């Protein structure tokens, strides 16, 4: 079942990515939601396409752009899709390419599969937690068929750091006090800290593919921002631990807001 669902999620992400780029390469019109977060035509079109794919399964969907189902119903779901049709809408509006499509399959609150597609550079990340493997594929086209995707896929390998330098995922321009404090603590331990920066769920991918050691996220995120990234990280032995519970982040909670968390080995 996981194999078929992973294929479906990959196909959905590629089709959504193609449509996102059609909007990206035209005039971007921005609306603002009630919480002041930006919304573009790309978010809506991507969501429609992903829903079309995922609704062929009996598995319910939690998506940033869908009306949220009441928790009284959701709490009965042992399986659900968790989707962010465009993660990094602000990056999309800035046209810096660092936005993604995130699709995860969650079972009993734990991410089992994750797909992150970076349409601006046609790079796909995906992971299967049960198999303990995650991959990266650099594609020629959004229309690449699934067999070709698997052929192009390279196994992800996190860093086995034995040096004194530690690469921390953060913002070059503005880090909040909690993150700065985390960096200072590392420096006080004698570590040589280097900040590496990326937008959206690509931060998880940096750690999963060995281009960073740790990602402290001491700022608000929602479940759809993190589920796919957590699946990819978990598939290669990287933990995503809540600062509140000291346990892995859980999904399909009553409140879909995440606690602060740390991504590391």
Q: What is the pLDDT of residues 63-100, one digit of tens each?
A: 999 999 999 999 999 999 999 999 998 889 999 999 99
Q: Does the pLDDT at position 1 exceed 80?
A: no
Q: What is the pTM of this model?
A: 0.96
Do the domain assignments include residue 135? yes
Query: Of 37, 50, 43, 46, which is closest to residue 9 (Cα–Cα)?
Result: 50
The domain boundary, picked from 94, 122, 155, lies at: 155
Do the domain assignments include residue 118? yes
Same-domain pairing of 122 and 235: no
103-128 pLDDT, tens digit each = 999 999 999 999 999 999 999 999 99
The domain boundary, picked from 155, 190, 214, lies at: 155
What is residue 139's predicted lDDT score, i.e. its pLDDT? 98
Q: Does the pLDDT at position 21 exceed 70?
A: yes
With contact defined as beta carbons under 8 Å apart, do 256 and 211 qualify? Answer: no
Task: Please state the domain count of the chain.
Answer: 2
Residues pairing with 84 in the sheet = 102
As given in the structure block, the two tokens for residue 13 are: 């992400």
Query: What is the separation of C-alpha 232 from the centre of its chain, rounded to a whole number of angstroms?
Result: 8
Same-domain pairing of 228 and 114: no
180: CATH: 3.40.190.80
Do the domain assignments include residue 160? no
Same-domain pairing of 19 and 142: yes
For residue 140, the tally of other CB atoms under 10 A from its CB is: 9
Average per-residue pLDDT in the chain?
A: 95
- Domain range holding 202? 165-264
46: CATH: 3.30.540.10
Do the domain assignments include residue 29? yes
């Amino acid at each position: 079942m996981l194999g078929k669902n992973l294929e479906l999620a990959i196909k959905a992400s590629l089709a959504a990515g193609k449509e996102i780029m059609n909007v990206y390469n035209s005039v971007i019109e921005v609306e603002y939601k009630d919480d002041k977060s930006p919304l573009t035509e790309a978010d809506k079109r991507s969501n429609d396409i992903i829903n079309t794919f995922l609704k062929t399964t009996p598995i319910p969907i939690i998506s940033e752009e869908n009306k949220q189902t009441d928790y009284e119903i959701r709490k009965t779901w042992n399986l659900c899709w968790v989707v962010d049709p465009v993660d990094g809408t602000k990056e999309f509006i800035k046209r810096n390419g660092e936005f993604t499509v995130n699709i995860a399959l969650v079972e009993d609150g734990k991410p089992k599969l994750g797909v992150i597609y970076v349409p601006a550079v046609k790079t796909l990340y995906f992971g299967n937690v049960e198999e303990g493997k995650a991959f990266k594929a650099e594609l020629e086209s959004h229309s690449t068929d699934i067999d070709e995707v698997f052929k192009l896929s390279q196994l992800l390998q996190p860093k086995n750091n034995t040096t004194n330098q530690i690469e921390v995922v953060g913002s070059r321009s503005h880090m909040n006090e909690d993150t700065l404090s985390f960096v200072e603590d590392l420096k006080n331990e004698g570590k040589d800290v280097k900040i590496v920066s990326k937008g959206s769920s690509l931060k998880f991918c940096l750690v999963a593919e060995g281009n960073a050691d740790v990602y402290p996220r001491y700022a608000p995120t929602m479940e759809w921002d993190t589920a796919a990234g957590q699946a990819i990280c978990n598939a290669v032995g990287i933990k995503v631990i809540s600062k509140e519970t000291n346990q892995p982040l859980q999904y399909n909670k009553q409140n879909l807001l995440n606690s602060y968390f740390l991504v590391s080995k």
